[in-house]
Every structure is written in C-alpha cells, then in structure tokens.
Structure 1
Amino acid sequence: MAAAPSDQVTACVLLIGDEILSGRTKDANLSYIARHLGEIGVQVREARVIPDVEEVIVATLNEVRAKYDYVFTTGGIGPTHDDITADCVAKAFGVEIGYHPEAMEILTAHYKETGNEFTEARKRMARIPEGASLIPNPVSKAPGFQMGNVFVMAGIPMIMQVMMDGLAGRLKGGRKMLARTVSCEMGEGQLAEGLRALQDAHPAVSIGSYPFFFEKRYGTSIVMRSVEEEELALVVEEVRALMLGLGAAPVEGEVRGGPSAKEGAQAGAS
C-alpha cells in the first residue's frame, strides 16, 4: 500500500463500465464517494473512468493501488458476461478466484426467500478472489469485497452507497481537508494575477477560481482548501484583501446559483 505524505490519507476512484464511457449511464457515484471520504479525512486525489476491458482494468488497478492508500471501484460485479471486475482484481493480485462460501450462503438464502431461481449467472456474484473479505450489501445481498487496499463495490448508486457506509470501521482517515469560499462580482480574469501570486506564496493551500452567472449577475467564487487551518485562514483574508483592493465586495460563501460552468460566465466575466 502506498504511503501518504505526512499524515494525509489518499484515495483513487475507478468507475468501471462501458456504459459510462458511452454516455448511456450518468455517473452518480464519484461525488458521493469523495464527500463520504472527505468527512473522515481521506482525500480523493484521482478518479478514472475505464472500460470493461481486462488488460485495462488489471493494469490500472496495479498502478493506482501502489500509488494511493485506498482504491475504490464501482461497477462490473453483476451476473452477466461483461461483469469482469472480480476476475480482474484476482488477476491484478495474482490469486485464484472461486465461489466464496459465505457469499454463496447469503445469495442462496436470498433467492430462496424471494422465490427466484439461483441460476448459474447469479452464482457469478458469489465469485470472490482468494483472500478477499466481503463488503455487506443490505439492499440486493450480492456482496462487494475488499482485497488489500482495494474496495470493490456495485455500480448501482443505491447499493454502492450502503456498501460505502458499511466501510466506516475499515478506513483510517488522516487530517480533514478544510474548505472556505469567498465570492465577489468581478471576473476571474481581473483576479488571476493576484491569485497566482497568492498560490505561489501559499503552496499548502489549494486555490481554485470558479466563475458564476446568475440572474444577469456574474462574478467569481474562490475556493480555498487545506489541512492547515491557520494557513487557510490567512489565505482567506488575503483573498478578501485582493478583492477589496480591486474594488469588489467580498462575500463569504458562494453566490446563489453559482459557481456554474465556466462557459456560462466567460461570456461577460473574463
């Protein structure tokens, strides 16, 4: 498992599925995972959408599990032929895969209770890499699993969320990322030079500029993020001073309706 710098804990999210890349399915998982992890002090540093292609999944898993403390995957653990995530995880870790006794027991009881046939296709959902531990699924019962620092979850948002919620005892967080936002009715182009200087002077604080356009009002929200509370507070005051010095009135937080997509604001803001 990769070592996080100082006391920061990092993560990568892999969204697996051709349906996301084709546009057929709109991802609703990344934001939930990132928010959930942020609350416990795990910082999502990277997210990728990758296809249902074995060599891509295996290579990506091996790359990111060595780079980050945790890896979370969604998708590809259902009963159909293109659900290959479990097999790919087994291959990435160099272990065998087979029917997990507890998973088989859970699914056997579930299909008996529902009166549905426990078909060979459905049994695929009980195939778990050797050495992995199960992630409970109170919704549809088919479990996810943890292999090392990799957590494999369903792609269906409702199911992914209950799986994610059930991981609280397994995840160790670091220092929480703090965030502050200051907005003003001024184009980001006017703030850009001053913001660059502030970013160079305060590398421990991430400074992001996000234009908004709302009810014929345009402006910029500056979002500052850091694990260093005192440094963050200092940058907030310096951003406020920058806005005031340029003739804009700083407002704590975001303007209602913003920030929005850059193209909506750049028509008149930059």
Structure 2
Amino acid sequence: MEDKHLCPSRQGPNSARYRLIVEHFFAREQCMMTSKTADELSAIAIRRSMSSKCTAGIIIIGDEITKGKVADTNSHYVAQKLYSLGVDVRKISVIPDEVDVIAEEVALFSKKFTHVVTAGGIGPTHDDITYQAIAHGLQERLILLPDLVALIKSHFKITVPDYDPLNPPTFPWDVETTSFDPALKMALVPASSRLHHANGVSVFPMVQVNNVYIMPGIPQYLKRCCRHLEILARNPDYAFLTNEIYVQTDEVRLAPILNAAVKQFGAHVSFGSYPVIGHSYYRTKLTMESTNQARLDAAYQYLSSELPADSIVSYDPMAIERAAEAIQDIIGGKGAHHHELQVPVSNAYQVTTISFIFYFLFFFPLLPFLSGLPSFSFLCLLSLYRVVRGC
C-alpha cells in the first residue's frame, strides 16, 4: 500500500517556518485561484518547503466508457499532467455509473494514494451519481453548498425557494434526486467539499473532497479543471527525467542488451521497450526514466555504446513542430553535423523565399482578374505600387 502521508501536500502546518512560507506565496496563489481555505494554503506552503514522492490514482467513471461508446482520452491527459508535476500515477481505473462501485473505488484510492482524480458523472441527469457515490464512499452527507447554489442560480436563472445559505440543508448520500431541479442537483455535493475557482477560465469551480479532485467527464472542461492540479498536486522538487533511443532492431535482438542494462542500472532507472509496426524510421523505441540526471545519463551512455551503431536512428518525434527552428540552426551552422547541410539548405531556403515573394507580388494580385473581380485586383495592384514606391 502506498503511503499517502509521505507527500508534502499531506503534511500539516509547522511552526514559524510555515507562517513565513504562507505569507510569501499567498499573494501569488490568490491571484491564480480564489476561495482557498487555510488548509489549502498550508498544503501549498508545506508542499513547496519539502520534497518527497507523491502518488496518484485516476478513476474514469461512465457507462459510455465501459461499453465502448466513447473513447477515454481523459485518463491520458490527467496522467500526463500529473507526471509533469512530479506525481507518480500508480493506477488508472475505468468503472461504470454504479454507486457502490464508485464508492468502493474512491474509498480505496483515497486511502492508498496521495491524490485521487475522478472524471465523469457530475452533470444534471439521472446517471450523474458521482457526488452521491463519493459521499457514500467517504461516509459523508450531501449538502446544497451555498457557493455552488449561488453560481447555479445566477448561471441558469433559477430560483430556490426557502433556501437559507446560512443554514444550508443536508441530505443522506442516497437521497432521491429526481425531485431536484436538474441544475440544482449539480450543487448537491459531499458535506466537506471545497471549491477551487479559476477566474476567466471556467464559470464553475472544481470540487475537492479530502484528497479527491472531482472533475467533469467532458474533456474540454476537464482540461480546465486540471489547471488546479498545478497548485494542489505539484511536487516541485521531484521531477521525472527521461531519455529515448530509437533503433531499427526488433525486441528479440534488443532483449539481451536491455536485460544487462536493467541489471546494472535498474535500481535507479526504469527502462521501457516499445515496438512499432510500419514506421518509416524505427522499429523499437527504448525509454529510460529516473529522478537522477547523472544516473539517467549513465544508463543512456551504456545503451548507446552496447547497441549496434548502425541500428541507432537519429529520430526527433517533434520534428515537424521544430522544423523552423531546425532550419535556422542549419543555416546558422549550429551543430557539427549541420555543416555539410548548411550550403544546400541555405540555397533551398533562398529559392523558396524568392518563389514566395514572386507569387505574392505578381501572381496573387491577378487572382481577382481570374475570378471576375477586376476592381479588387486594381486595388491590390495600386496598393502594391504604393508599397514599392515607398521602398
């Protein structure tokens, strides 16, 4: 079982050091999020003052996922986000819209992991039961939370007769919700819920219960909620460092070399081997991960030296995104391996630039003539004449 208490975000306030840290970060955090409690501020402060490993579990909720009607992209996005924040995702669970199943899974994850993220089941319809199930699993009552009620009244233009925000009603987790206004149902949350607002990003806040962050299933809305994780879940002194090697060799031939690397570096470096079919550049991707840069570099150097030199492929998975930068580096002669390409790439770049200018100056103004708009073309040519004359 994972020890959720190891993570800085699970620690309580500690002496004068805590107060100084809170004062230091309060202004910045208040600008980013609102409605923070003292407990949240202490979590932020202590998390930045200490370093240790944090774990997480992700629960994807919805019959549409378990029945294959909708493809789950949320777990991939949340896992990437948490990984980038230094949080080790230990388990991803996909479960149906069933109260007991959700309750059991949330209760287990909440005890086992530092952070829990749920996605789905918090809308206004009959099958949106996540709030109720979490209340059941964490043994809480439900409450019509005043801040949420106010937001929903304003956004959906509804009235809530006899509602007293100073004395909001509570209900057992299994209350029959069909009698509620559908919009108001979204304000019925576990009694200990805390809200995290993101002004200018989303109208509705993310709900947190203990260490459980409850997010919508709609991917666009979930991505907005994930911004809160950058404050609530970030472990700033614990980063995952990675490197990759791409090879034109199958896993059978790689296995002995990879096994030797695991034996030598496996205590501090995690290795992965991922074959692909039909790729134009490589057959297998080897990955290395560590929290120590020196050990990661040592493992990389070992594999690079042990693998057949002619099998290693110089492959950049972000080549298209970095194309413009790479071309400028070659033209500028940066990098020893770019010298032989500098002249041909520079010549090709000049030809492409001249061709584009020719097209823009001579062919583009003629397009309106071809499409039967001579007056527009005349204006284009007149504008071009003024530009040239001004030069």
Kindly report which structure 2 residues correspond to 1:122-133, keeping only aligned pairs within 5 A, or say none: 122-133=183-194
Contact 2:282–2:313 at 8 Å: present in 1 too?
A: no
2:212 maps to 1:212:
no
Cα shift at 1:218: 4.7
Per-residue CA deviations over 1:192-251 (Å, capped at 9, x if unaligned) read 122122112222211110112345655211011111111111111111122127x52353
Per-residue CA deviations over 1:28-84 (Å, capped at 9, x if unaligned) read 212221222222211222111111111111111111111111000000101111111
Cα distance in 2, alignment partners of residues 35 and 215 from structure 1: 24
Residue of structure 2 in register with 1:268 after alignment: none
Residue of structure 2 in register with 1:229 after alignment: 293
Structure 1 pair 54–186 and aligned structure 2 pair: CA distance change class (3 A): same
Cα distance in 2, alignment partners of residues 123 and 198 from structure 1: 57
CA-based RMSD: 2.5
Contact 1:77–1:125 at 8 Å: present in 2 too?
A: yes
User: Which structure has the larger Rg over C-alpha atoms?
Assistant: 2
Structure 1 pair 139–250 and aligned structure 2 pair: CA distance change class (3 A): closer
**Residue range with higher mean Cα deviation, 164-173 or 70-79:** 164-173
Structure 1 pair 215–94 and aligned structure 2 pair: CA distance change class (3 A): closer
Residue of structure 2 in register with 1:158 after alignment: 220
Contact 2:153–2:159 at 8 Å: present in 1 too?
A: no
Structure 1 pair 215–38 and aligned structure 2 pair: CA distance change class (3 A): closer
Which of residues 146, 153, 171 is equivalent to 2:208? 146
By percentage of residues, which structure has more helix?
A: 2
Cα distance in 2, alignment partners of residues 217 and 188 from structure 1: 16
Which of residues 130, 134, 139 is equivalent to 1:89? 134
Residue of structure 1 in register with 2:81 after alignment: 36
Kindly report which structure 2 residues correspond to 1:13-92, keeping only aligned pairs within 5 A, or say none: 13-92=58-137
In the superposition, the TM-score normalised over structure 1's length comes to 0.85
Amino acid at match of 2:125: T
Amino acid at match of 2:131: A
Contact 2:56–2:90 at 8 Å: present in 1 too?
A: yes
**Residue range with higher mean Cα deviation, 8-17 or 129-138:** 129-138
Q: Which blocks of at least 5 consecutive residues in structure 1 are unaligned?
A: 258-270
Q: Which blocks of at least 5 consecutive residues in structure 2 are unaligned?
A: 8-50, 161-179, 321-391
Amino acid at match of 1:3: H
Which of residues 5, 13, 18 is equivalent to 1:3? 5
In the superposition, the TM-score normalised over structure 2's length comes to 0.60
2:225 maps to 1:168:
no
Count of residue pairs brought into register by the alignment: 253
Q: Secondary structure at the match of 2:238?
A: coil
Cα shift at 1:168: 2.8
Cα distance in 1, alignment partners of residues 245 and 6 from structure 2: 30
Cα distance in 2, alignment partners of residues 208 and 151 from structure 1: 30
Cα shift at 1:139: 6.7
Residue of structure 2 in register with 1:192 after alignment: 255
Residue of structure 2 in register with 1:265 after alignment: none
